[in-house]
């Protein structure tokens, strides 16, 4: 059996010239792409906060092994994976001013707020620039109520490629499927794909021509708009070039896509598409926004009638509603691990080279100060991270330190992520990665 690494090497070998410079961006801090096993990172961001009591075993106060302990009921599906887990308590994000949400600040490690554009790139985007080359460097999917996902199929609240440059999350699985697999589909999906491809190409041509007449002060901003269509068209061409390979990974389009009974039908379909993008090698970085980085979100498919902002004002521990939501998340995390475990890679599997980061875009709760930001890591990232551990920190290191640690494990020399020395003097007690996490 040909493993995925060998397959992707052959798949990408003939594509280098077609990718262009935008396919292989340079990391701002000057690091080279890491050698060795291919790696990938998944960020799973639940809105409304992540109460530590919903993930830390009862009575556990100090750092220790997770061997022989039982996870709280909300995360019971992950009990068989304790040896591949690292629970972290005591990071902070006070400088992000989270309140209802830190928005871009959750993955950026800077101040965020509703309607405020990102002030710098986010960790998921930066990782997409240093991990192995893929057709789509970074994929974001967002899960919400069915009404919100239909009326706003794309939103930008969590990820950014730079200051004032948000990255959109895909929330309509029909649109995302058509973008990723429209070229290998038949019937209506294929027709829509061809029609949109033609439209996007025409818009790019028209926009490019019109932009030449703009004043210099406006031309740079306009060129970013034109580049957006260029990127879309380029992605469609690249995906078409590996259509035979993609046929092995495209999910089956079923009734959930066109006729979802509940929003969770679309949540599950979006997860399928995210998994397929990872397994096929379309992307190495996946960001999942459950609640899309906002205060909204619904889970009626779980028998939960309450939705949106009201969920954030409920105490999470021992709450049957939040137990259901966390259990649903945990089953999604298990599915991600099982799917990646099923694909050979090198001397092991894809999961051996993967890191899953499960946390919230809003620290520990709604209306929080950000003083405690619990995080659960799954996978050891090709042996880079300790697993089977609970680590209690003292609240003096920010979430930025976690992001610096992931960058270090990805081959990047990074002592601080998105934090100036002046800011660090107030919010970070040390410099460099979190030594408690690295193997």
Q: What CATH number does the domain located at 35-177+264-427 have? A: 3.40.720
247-277: pLDDT as tens digits: 889 999 999 999 999 999 999 999 999 999 9
Give the pLDDT of residue 200. Answer: 47
The whole-angstrom separation of Cα 21 and Cα 17 is 9
Q: In 3-state terms, what secondary structure has residue 1?
A: coil
Q: Would you give per-residue pLDDT tens digits along the chain (439 residues)?
A: 334 444 333 333 323 322 332 332 332 332 333 446 789 999 999 999 999 999 999 999 999 999 999 999 999 999 999 999 999 999 999 999 988 999 999 999 999 999 899 999 999 999 999 998 888 889 999 999 999 999 999 999 999 999 999 999 999 999 999 888 886 655 565 556 455 555 544 544 555 555 565 566 665 555 554 455 456 656 767 777 777 888 889 999 999 999 999 999 999 999 999 999 999 999 999 999 999 999 999 999 999 999 999 999 999 999 999 999 999 999 999 999 999 999 999 999 999 999 999 999 999 999 999 999 999 999 999 999 999 999 999 999 999 999 999 999 999 999 999 999 999 999 999 999 999 999 9
Largest CA distance in the chain: 69
């Amino acid at each position: 059996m040909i493993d995925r690494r060998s397959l992707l090497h052959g798949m990408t070998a003939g594509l280098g010239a077609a990718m262009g410079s935008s396919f292989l961006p340079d990391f701002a801090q000057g690091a080279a792409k890491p050698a060795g096993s291919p790696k990938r990172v998944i960020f799973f961001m639940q809105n409304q906060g992540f109460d530590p009591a919903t993930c830390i075993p009862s009575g556990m106060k100090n750092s220790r092994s997770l061997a022989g302990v039982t996870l709280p009921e909300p995360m019971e599906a992950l009990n068989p994976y304790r040896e591949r887990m690292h629970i972290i308590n005591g990071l902070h994000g006070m400088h992000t001013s989270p309140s209802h949400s830190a928005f871009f600040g959750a993955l950026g490690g800077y101040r965020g707020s509703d309607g405020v554009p990102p002030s710098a790139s986010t960790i998921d985007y930066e990782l997409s620039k240093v991990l192995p080359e893929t057709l789509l460097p970074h994929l974001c999917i967002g899960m919400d109520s069915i009404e919100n996902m239909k009326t706003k199929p794309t939103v930008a609240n969590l990820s950014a490629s730079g200051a004032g440059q948000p990255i959109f999350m895909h929330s309509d699985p029909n649109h995302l499927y058509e973008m990723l697999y429209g070229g290998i589909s038949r019937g209506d999906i294929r027709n829509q794909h061809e029609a949109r491809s033609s439209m996007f190409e025409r818009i790019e041509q028209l926009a490019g021509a019109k932009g030449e007449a703009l004043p210099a002060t406006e031309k740079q901003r306009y060129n970013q708009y034109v580049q957006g269509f260029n990127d879309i068209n380029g992605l469609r061409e690249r995906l078409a070039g590996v259509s035979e390979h993609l046929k092995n990974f495209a999910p089956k389009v079923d009734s959930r896509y066109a006729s979802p009974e509940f929003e969770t039908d679309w949540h599950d379909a979006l997860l399928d598409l995210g998994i397929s993008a990872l397994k096929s090698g379309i992307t190495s970085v996946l960001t999942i926004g459950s609640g899309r980085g906002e205060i909204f979100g619904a889970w009626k498919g779980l028998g939960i009638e309450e939705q949106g902002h009201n969920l954030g004002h409920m105490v999470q521990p021992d709450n049957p509603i939040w137990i259901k939501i966390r259990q649903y998340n945990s089953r999604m995390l298990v599915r991600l691990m099982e799917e990646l475990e099923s694909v050979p890679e090198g001397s092991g599997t894809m999961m051996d080279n993967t890191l899953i980061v499960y946390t919230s875009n809003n620290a520990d709760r709604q209306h929080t100060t950000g003083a405690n930001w619990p995080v659960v890591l799954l996978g050891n990232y090709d042996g880079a991270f300790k697993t089977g551990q609970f680590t209690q920190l003292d609240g003096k290191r920010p979430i930025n330190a976690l992001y610096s640690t992931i960058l270090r494990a990805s081959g990047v020399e990074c002592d601080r992520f998105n934090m100036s020395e002046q800011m660090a003097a107030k919010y970070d007690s040390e410099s460099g990665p979190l030594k408690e996490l690295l193997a």
